[in-house]
Chains A and B, each alone.
Chain A
Amino acid sequence: MAKRSWVPLFWTLFSAGGVVAAFLIPIHIVLFGLAFPFGWLQPPTYEKLLALAKLPLARLYLFVFCSLPLFHWAHRFRYTLHDGLQAKHLDTLIATCTYGSAIVGTVAAGYLLWNL
């Protein structure tokens, strides 16, 4: 029997994360990273934002927003080090660190959103 490969799973997560990052991250940076700090737009109050984030759909949205793009990063960064910087001999270590970080981030997002 052929050995099962993890590559398709990680590639799917990479691809899904790429879509989520492409569509959602720019507006988040514009709002929370630039428009609110610079005062271009009036930020929502703490109470309003908390109430919004507590909605089940918003929690799910934020979980997807955090988790999938981390796997996208893990996959790209792994292969950037692997091919770009020719660190092929360190592949096991790199893969463990990158996918491991993505898993840690996913668990952290799940924990934070569950207890929000």
Chain B
Amino acid sequence: MKQKPAYTEFQPRLYRPRISFYWWLERWHYLKFMLRELSSVFVAYFVVITLLQIRALAQGPEAYQAFQTLMAAPLIVILNVVSLLFVLFHTITWFNLTPSAMVVRIKGKRLPDVLIAGPNYVAWVVISALIAWIVIGG
């Protein structure tokens, strides 16, 4: 890295417009970005729920029953529905970004985005079905 150029007395200040605190409400695109970033809060929320679940499992049947009762509480159910919507938003935006993160060229031609994003969705369905099968059947 080069050294920063030194200011002289006659140098004009850089023009830096003030950005509104609510800049992310100005356009749908910005809002979408902010909602995507906020999806991580719901990811963390469900990890905490899972940690509580593991703790309840370790403590015994009564503790696990209490955990199940907690999961049926109206406030938790609402949180879970909202979390699911946010996490699905994360999943979809994440999969749709893969073509930008991973450019595959075959014989010099760029593979269409759908062929890179698509397999993620297929794998997602398969993995989800497998987990459901193991939890319910196993």
Contact = CB atoms under 8 A, between A and B. Distances in A.
A82 B57 CA distance: 38
B94 A34 contact: no
Interface string B104-138: 00000000000000001001100110011011101
Nearest to A15: B101
B91 A26 contact: yes
A108 interface: yes
A26 to B, nearest CB: 5
Interface of B: 19, 21, 24, 34, 37-41, 43-44, 46-51, 53-55, 57-58, 61, 64-65, 68, 71-72, 76-77, 80-81, 83-84, 87-88, 90-91, 94-95, 120, 123-124, 127-128, 131-132, 134-136, 138
Interface string A75-116: 111011000111000000000000000000100110011011
Q: Which residue among A22, A46, A70, A72 has the maximum number of chain B CB atoms within 10 Å of its CB?
A: A22
Contact of A36 (B65, B68, B95): B68
11 contacts: A17-B43, A22-B120, A26-B124, A29-B87, A42-B136, A46-B57, A49-B57, A52-B134, A70-B47, A73-B47, A116-B54
Nearest to A25: B87
A25 B43 contact: yes
A43 B51 CA distance: 18
A34 B81 contact: yes
A18 B91 CA distance: 8
Contact of B94 (A22, A65, A85, A116): A22
B57 A50 contact: yes
Interface residues of A, number: 52
Nearest to A34: B80
Contacts of A50: 57
A60 interface: no
Contacts of B21: 85-86
A98 B34 CA distance: 18
Nearest to A55: B138
Contacts of A115: 58
Contacts of A109: 51, 54
B9 to A, nearest CB: 27
Contact of A80 (B38, B43, B46, B57): B38
